[in-house]
Structure 1
């Protein structure tokens, strides 16, 4: 219990938050590394997933790419980068995390686009839509929930793993944990772990809300569902504003 008490003392000290290289600075760096890694994976994985799904022959490639990417530990990549021109620091961490985020986004994009009803696709083509219009206006909205699920999974994993940046001279909240180990300060170690876990949970919550709001269909957002529930049982107004 002493470690948790020391962690609370560390977290309740305003100086630890506001000083240079304090919690707020490290939090911003942590979020920047995570965001760049996830965006890089998103830019690469979504077009590839759409292309493989459209060809109808990409299931084997998706499985191989996903398994190979998952089988390579992030820490092993960071160690490998150390003997290459990439070196240490935030750049190496960002590249390694992008590789880590790639498989769930690719897999979910592929499954989402392959799951679109062929009849819907044929109907869109029959209406005179081009292939790009079908992808953008028909397939993408229908596949979006699964794509967002892959993005959410990748983002939470990356946020929780970005703490490894501190092991290769990078920034982020992992520096608090790393410094705690160096000083044998268990309260600081626990405080850093709490911050990383809380940030991962908040990222999950934010992306769940975003995914719900972006999904097509009625009642897609919590606010819309709340309004829908409160509207149940209300009398329908007439043109004069008087219930029938």
Structure 2
């Protein structure tokens, strides 16, 4: 099975359609599938639902798709740093489903493991838990959270072999593995593709069985919030 494609556009060919549900890896601007997001923008598909920790910033990441109003709903943990997100949400253009970060990651992982739902204490008694089924375990209340089963996963890794076995570098590991797992089809962009056997099996973070298509590309590594120390007086 050929998994390596020449470009993001080629890797997404035949997969995109209006109204689809996409799970995206990344945290802030770290480890986001920027090339695939750019290709989705160029494709012009609309009414998209994204499950992603956040929506990037106004001019990078999923924020680019908000600019073109291609996103109908976000399932997210954090929505700061993005004025476009705020404006569209407050005006009623954008639907938002808040999830605690751990819950969102577990919902993705559960979907990838074929688990329809799980019970967690997180969010009980808050707006997060409103309308959700409650059960008691050991005398404690838990709410039901459903696994995420996406039409498409888009993720970014550091290295992968041609079969899709992947390594994520440091904190870029974040939401990428569970996001990759929960999509019916997973497309992954990487900084380097190597031949099978070149990666230490003990270092693999995501088995290639979850990855259907991959591309290699150059990436822009932005810093979301640059903090520097003030120059000390001599």
Q: Whose Rg is larger?
A: 1
Whether TM exceeds 0.5 here: the answer is no
**Structure with higher strand content:** 2
Q: For the superposition of Structure 1 and Structure 2, which TM-score range results when normalised by the shorter chain?
A: under 0.3
**Structure with higher helix content:** 1
